[in-house]
Homo-oligomer: A and B are copies of this chain.
Amino acid sequence: MKFQAEINVMPLKALLDPQGKAVNATLHGIGYAEVSGVRIGKHVNLEIEAPSKEAAIEKVTDICSKVLSNPVMEGFEFHLTEAKD
Protein backbone atom coordinates (compact mmCIF):
# COMPACT_ATOMS: atom_id res chain seq x y z
CA MET A 1 0.00 0.00 0.00
CA LYS A 2 1.12 3.49 -0.77
CA PHE A 3 0.55 6.37 1.61
CA GLN A 4 0.84 10.10 1.21
CA ALA A 5 2.30 11.82 4.27
CA GLU A 6 1.80 15.53 5.01
CA ILE A 7 4.37 16.56 7.59
CA ASN A 8 4.75 19.85 9.47
CA VAL A 9 8.01 20.59 11.26
CA MET A 10 7.66 23.68 13.46
CA PRO A 11 9.93 25.49 15.91
CA LEU A 12 9.02 24.54 19.48
CA LYS A 13 6.57 26.91 21.17
CA ALA A 14 9.04 27.62 23.99
CA LEU A 15 11.66 28.98 21.58
CA LEU A 16 11.92 32.26 19.71
CA ASP A 17 11.25 31.96 16.02
CA PRO A 18 13.35 34.71 14.41
CA GLN A 19 11.99 34.03 10.90
CA GLY A 20 8.42 34.29 12.16
CA LYS A 21 9.23 37.45 14.13
CA ALA A 22 10.74 39.04 11.03
CA VAL A 23 7.70 38.24 8.88
CA ASN A 24 5.41 39.48 11.66
CA ALA A 25 7.28 42.81 11.77
CA THR A 26 7.26 43.10 7.98
CA LEU A 27 3.52 42.51 7.84
CA HIS A 28 2.95 45.20 10.44
CA GLY A 29 5.24 47.53 8.50
CA ILE A 30 3.21 47.19 5.29
CA GLY A 31 -0.13 47.71 6.95
CA TYR A 32 -1.30 44.31 8.19
CA ALA A 33 -1.48 45.30 11.85
CA GLU A 34 -4.20 42.68 12.50
CA VAL A 35 -1.72 39.82 12.15
CA SER A 36 0.07 38.34 15.17
CA GLY A 37 1.86 35.21 16.32
CA VAL A 38 3.55 34.33 13.05
CA ARG A 39 5.55 31.11 13.25
CA ILE A 40 7.33 29.55 10.31
CA GLY A 41 8.43 25.98 9.82
CA LYS A 42 8.69 23.38 7.09
CA HIS A 43 6.01 21.48 5.27
CA VAL A 44 7.08 18.16 3.74
CA ASN A 45 5.07 15.92 1.42
CA LEU A 46 6.25 12.41 0.71
CA GLU A 47 5.00 9.07 -0.46
CA ILE A 48 5.78 5.89 1.38
CA GLU A 49 5.25 2.24 0.50
CA ALA A 50 4.28 0.12 3.52
CA PRO A 51 2.35 -3.08 4.28
CA SER A 52 -0.11 -1.31 6.62
CA LYS A 53 -1.03 2.12 7.92
CA GLU A 54 0.56 1.27 11.31
CA ALA A 55 3.85 0.36 9.61
CA ALA A 56 3.72 3.60 7.60
CA ILE A 57 3.10 5.68 10.74
CA GLU A 58 6.08 4.03 12.41
CA LYS A 59 8.37 4.69 9.42
CA VAL A 60 7.28 8.30 9.04
CA THR A 61 7.73 8.97 12.77
CA ASP A 62 11.21 7.52 12.47
CA ILE A 63 12.05 9.66 9.43
CA CYS A 64 10.69 12.81 11.06
CA SER A 65 12.59 12.39 14.28
CA LYS A 66 15.85 11.24 12.68
CA VAL A 67 16.07 13.27 9.49
CA LEU A 68 13.45 15.97 9.06
CA SER A 69 13.46 17.62 12.46
CA ASN A 70 15.99 18.71 15.02
CA PRO A 71 14.40 17.58 18.31
CA VAL A 72 16.25 20.27 20.28
CA MET A 73 14.49 23.04 18.39
CA GLU A 74 11.60 21.55 16.45
CA GLY A 75 8.51 19.46 16.88
CA PHE A 76 6.66 17.61 14.13
CA GLU A 77 3.19 16.37 13.33
CA PHE A 78 1.88 14.55 10.29
CA HIS A 79 -1.09 12.86 8.81
CA LEU A 80 -1.21 9.98 6.39
CA THR A 81 -3.72 9.30 3.66
CA GLU A 82 -3.79 6.25 1.42
CA ALA A 83 -2.56 7.24 -2.05
CA LYS A 84 -4.80 6.11 -4.88
CA ASP A 85 -2.93 4.55 -7.81
Residue ranges of A at the interface with B (Cβ–Cβ < 8 Å): 8-10, 20, 23-24, 26-27, 30, 32, 34-50, 59, 63, 67-68
Chain A facing B: main interface SS = strand
7 closest Cβ pairs, A-B complex = A43-B43, A34-B49, A37-B47, A38-B46, A39-B45, A8-B43, A41-B43
Expressed in whole angstroms, the Cα–Cα distance for A26 and B44 within the complex equals 14
Q: State the number of copies, please.
A: 2
Checking B20, B27, B40, B47 against A35 with a beta-carbon cut-off of 8 angstroms, the contacting residue is B47
Q: Which residues of B contact A50 (CB under 8 A)?
A: 34
List chain B residues, Cβ under 8 A from A48.
Answer: 34-36
The smallest C-beta distance from A64 to any residue of chain B, in angstroms, reads 11
